[in-house]
Structure 1
């Protein structure tokens, strides 16, 4: 595959967009600026990246308060990748443990830590809308994502395809995003449903499709930056 290859992927379903996209764009800009440790130039990129449009396609039926809390979470995911990736393994492991404790309600956020404050607010917004079982699943699924980021630290070179797929499924953060989709549906899957082989396979396929699609479109940029965690570059 060449860098100028014009191959594209197609989405076979009708595009749905939340009617509150315009309002969300304004409020997301305010939310992004609350991450004061992120350089202004990077925050500007977030604001012009079309995040509000993308989030509106993920949650087309969400009420506005649900849409905003989903946005809060997705901006948090972006900061994980763009800011915390420069920390050491020991530092980031400790940071992730703090994040998990805050979402569990076992720890208060540090006043001058914007990310901890955002997670505390996310928990506050979620609790009135979800069950305790759902909340624990969401936290576990975020931990799954954290573990993927920690696993990525083990590799200076290209991993095997098998190892990469295992890591990429975690890095996609899709499980926690799929959990949030239940908010707009008005019901929450039971643990019995979540453990059914069909549901497990469906979630796995979603993780892989999302991760591999990202790899497909980002490989030229990642090649230039010397990054190794991309399926196309590994192949």
Structure 2
């Protein structure tokens, strides 16, 4: 057995926590129970430990209670679905996933009303989330959100095909697909309806802002890969930046961890540098753009605080020496 030193991670951004976090957690518990999303005692224990409302409350610190509950439900649903795809045998069956995810996309495309009895817990829960999202969003936003969910589902199938074929993706392929497998792009789209930040598409689609969104996504996803690499190595999954680096470079796990940490820190530096170059014009629109960037910052620090401080979801802390 070897031991590894997990890198210390820090961010130059403040941490925040939504004032409605406790009410949101109570809501999630009731919502998950009502839809029957937890089917085993192990799943119940993991859910209680996860405290999913804390992730939403850290990522969206200024959201009102109703909106916070919507996004907390959505992220809880994503984690339950993702855990099923990653850890259960279903995650190795691409054809089954294709069929299931086509049904989920049908709910989004056609606003289908589904109950646990007519469509099962996962579909019914998504139907509930989507009904509430539609009530507070524009048609243009819905199309963007549906596109981000389609990208996420496609990436889940890509992972399943790799598992079935015994393929470890190349570094380039993994880095390209990781923003989609993390589903964070859907959460970033949700900034508009959850925090009520309405930016023009011209502003959001500026290359500088898009690169900051990409950096935020990379930071969050690669931090998660660092936190979970030993767990996923034990499970035999290869969809992790550390494990992809180790395979491609035929290096030790520690060397791969060090390189993943370097890549992660480089993205933090890029985010900070680009923030200083934001095209602020002294207009009212600047305030909205700064609010938007503030939520990206909150996602970065919030993901870290939730993963390491609030829940210990991955079972290790930064700076620790752990057995691998």
**Structure-2-length-normalised TM-score:** 0.67
> Partners of 2:243 and 2:23 in 1: how far apart?
39
1:157 maps to what in 2?
A: 167
Deviations 1:132-171 (A, max 9, x none): 1011101110111111111112322321100111221111
Q: CA deviation at 1:81?
A: 1.3
Q: Map 1:61-80; keep pairs closer than 5 Å.
A: 61-80=62-81
User: Residues 36 and 126 of structure 1: is their aligned pair in 2 closer, same or farther, counting only changes over 3 Å?
Assistant: closer
> Partners of 1:127 and 1:200 in 2: how far apart?
25
Contact 1:161 1:234 in 2 (8 A): yes
Deviations 1:11-49 (A, max 9, x none): 221111000111122221122223346323212211212
Q: Map 1:1-235; keep pairs closer than 5 Å.
A: 3-33=3-33, 34-36=35-37, 38-85=39-86, 86-87=89-90, 88-109=93-114, 111-112=116-117, 113-155=120-162, 156-235=166-245
> Partners of 2:4 and 2:140 in 1: how far apart?
47
The number of residue pairs the alignment matches comes to: 234
Describe the SS at the equivalent of 2:7.
Answer: coil
Q: CA deviation at 1:116?
A: 1.3
**Structure-1-length-normalised TM-score:** 0.91
User: Residues 6 and 201 of structure 1: is their aligned pair in 2 closer, same or farther, counting only changes over 3 Å?
Assistant: closer
Contact 2:152 2:180 in 1 (8 A): yes
User: Residues 6 and 152 of structure 1: is their aligned pair in 2 closer, same or farther, counting only changes over 3 Å?
Assistant: closer
Contact 1:148 1:171 in 2 (8 A): yes
Describe the SS at the equivalent of 1:83.
Answer: helix
Structural RMSD (CA): 1.9
Name which of structure 1's ranges 17-26 and 186-195 shifts more when overlaid on structure 2. Answer: 186-195
What runs of 5+ residues in structure 2 fail to find an aligned partner?
246-324
Contact 1:32 1:46 in 2 (8 A): no
Answer with 1 or 2: which has the greater Rg. 2
What runs of 5+ residues in structure 1 fail to find an aligned partner?
none
User: Residues 158 and 31 of structure 1: is their aligned pair in 2 closer, same or farther, counting only changes over 3 Å?
Assistant: same
Contact 1:32 1:43 in 2 (8 A): no
